[in-house]
Structure 1
Amino acid sequence: MRSNHDAIVDRFLQRDPFARVITECAVSTAIVFISARFESEAIVDFTKIARQVIKQVGYTQLDFNAKTCSIMTSLKELPKSENRCWDEKKLSEAEIEEISVKDQVTVFGFACNQTKALMPLPIWLAHQLAKRLTAVRQEKILPYLAPDGKTQVAIEYKNCKPHRIYSITLIASQSKLVGANGANLKRLQEDLRDSVIDVVFADEELKPDANTRIFIDSDDPFAIGGPSVHSGLTGRKNAIDTYGEYSRHSGAALSGKDPTRIDRVGAYAARYAAKNVIAADLADECEVQLTYSVGLSRPVSIQVETFGTGKISDEEIAIILEKNFDFRLAGIVREFNLRFLPAIVKGGFYKKLAAYGHVGRLDIGVLPWEETDKVAILR
């Protein structure tokens, strides 16, 4: 249901590229609660968007589905501000400098050479399993699955390099209850092994071995998942949205915010910088930390950590990044065209980031912060 956050952001920006909006969503059995603050001329039907998202995700249970669930909203339209409609494409460099951030925040970006997406291998594999789990449900390969699941891959490292796959955990929600000791559970385990795990690892260099521990709904079958049995605020699993706890991430959620929120777009800019450092072969691992203060346009601190893998010093890399990357709020929005992507990309833009991560994506075209177009300059 975190898709609902960014579906709302998309709809606002499609109708008003200069809209400002922040939205939260909580779910429980038969209930969706949406809260939002916004400043815009656009008219957005929050309830309609929520029902569309629920239907698209695939929730059809009697106690939670798009037609019958209750949707409650708490909406606040903010007073009009004089500088809401600044167009970064038309501003001079001096004017870009005058656009300050409204929040104090420290954001992190990370990249490493463990995968083709320059992402840590554990979160990369976990996302591939999650995407395949969705695919086998939607394509009716395993039609008894329901739209909720969990994946985890544990990797053993040697000398800071992935060495072997220690364990794979796959928990899938089913449309009907599966007994823990019944034949149905055995069938589920065989189906997920054949149709999900084996397919995902077929093209991976590092594969499960004879000693890899594989857990598939092993202790307590997930049965019917989603809001039917769970409740809580959605869109708050920041590690899943970023680097899977392999590296640090900001405490602020990424989804549900328009592009003027530095806690969202700053994280994208930090990833952009870190990825280009790795692509330029300046290090094997790189973390970029940006700290912003209210009232200033630039970060007050740019820190780089390469964990002993840098070809040059971390301080030198930080100086190079500060010189060649625009970390100012309006500069980031301009560089990535963040206001206008929802209207350009078919089906919305931010909504596509709500599942399988905001970074390291190779399945939805090249995200602007995933470009490696600064490599020549960095080298």
Structure 2
Amino acid sequence: MKPKILFTSEAVSEGHPDKICDQIADAILDECLAHDQNSRTAVEVLVTNQKVIIAGEVTSSYTPDYKKIARNILNRIGYHDAKNGIDADTCDIEVLVKTQSQDIALGVNSSYDTASLGAGDQGIMFGYASIETENLMPLPIVMAHKLVRVATNYRHEHPSCHLCPDMKSQVTVDYSSDNSRIDTVVFSSQHDENISIEDLRELITKEIIMPVAESFGMNKDFKVFINPTGRFVIGGPAGDTGVTGRKIIVDT
């Protein structure tokens, strides 16, 4: 019997604690580069219940308003109530940013006068190009991203839909035959207390999972698990501490 060949990828929404941190760190870099194209940032962010810590090293002629940037990101995501994880306007923000070490900067500073660009750190990425999607990314990660993107857009467009910012998707595709098929979709979404798990699962299936599967022209007879543990009211930074860099593989 031919063994099954399964490949699984996950994605998280803008409201996932780790992704909140990534967005704040990215926004700080963007702000610095907008004022000084030679800016270098190595910023780490931690979020927990009603608390944001911004630390790291920044080398730039411009000093950004770190607290304002963090609050803008939280507001854009939709964190307006501490009960949903964190309140953008009232949370405590601590900034512990310093300039880059002169020793580490040596490799980068010297590269300004050469054709090569040095680096102050390294990283490992995973991914491959594939012709199965228009953007040449593997199907499971593309579908996982689209699921949380569609869900996030639905949440913003329907404020009373009971969905909250913290979400995660996981897609498993079966490559055992020439025609790939969706094997399993797992979707977890934070929600308020005013919706039953049955209604939540019906909403996510009808408005998010099935439309996304149909948009790829895929099979509909796959396994679906929505909030498999049941209740997910306590979410965001109130439910799980977030840190930059823990979701790098989600974006590759």
Task: Give the TM-score normalised by the residue count of structure 2.
Answer: 0.81
Change (3 A) 1:230 1:108: closer
The one-letter code of the counterpart of 2:166 is D
Whether contact under 8 Å (2:126, 2:249) holds in the other structure is: no
Change (3 A) 1:219 1:79: closer
| Bigger shift: residues 165-174 or 107-116 | 107-116
Instruction: Tell me the C-alpha RMSD between the 2 structures.
Output: 2.4
Please name the residue that 2:8 is paired with: none
Change (3 A) 1:61 1:235: farther
Please name the residue that 1:365 is paired with: none
Aligned equivalents of 2:79 and 2:29: distance in 1? 22
Q: Shift in Å at residue 241 of structure 1?
A: 1.3
Poorly superposed stretches of 4+, deviation over 3 Å: 78-87, 99-109
Mapping of residues 1-379 of structure 1, within 5 Å: 1=20, 2-63=22-83, 64-78=86-100, 84=109, 95-97=114-116, 99-103=117-121, 107-108=125-126, 110-140=128-158, 143-158=161-176, 163-176=180-193, 178=195, 184-209=196-221, 212-242=222-252
Q: Shift in Å at residue 215 of structure 1?
A: 0.8
Q: Unmatched 5+ residue regions in structure 1?
A: 179-183, 243-379
Change (3 A) 1:85 1:165: same
Change (3 A) 1:145 1:22: same
Q: Which has the higher contact order (CA 8 A, sep 6+)?
A: 2
Q: Shift in Å at residue 100 of structure 1?
A: 3.3
Q: Shift in Å at residue 234 of structure 1?
A: 3.1
Whether contact under 8 Å (2:210, 2:220) holds in the other structure is: no
The one-letter code of the counterpart of 1:157 is Y
Change (3 A) 1:197 1:104: closer
Please name the residue that 2:7 is paired with: none
The one-letter code of the counterpart of 2:169 is T
The one-letter code of the counterpart of 2:93 is I
The one-letter code of the counterpart of 2:77 is V
SS in 2 for 1:118: coil
Aligned equivalents of 1:139 and 1:85: distance in 2? 49
Whether contact under 8 Å (1:164, 1:208) holds in the other structure is: no
Change (3 A) 1:146 1:114: same
The one-letter code of the counterpart of 1:137 is R
Task: Give the TM-score normalised by the residue count of structure 1.
Answer: 0.55
Please name the residue that 1:376 is paired with: none
Aligned equivalents of 1:142 and 1:128: distance in 2? 22
Residue identity over aligned pairs, in percent, reads 31
Q: Shift in Å at residue 235 of structure 1?
A: 3.4
Q: What is the number of residues matched between the two proteins?
A: 227
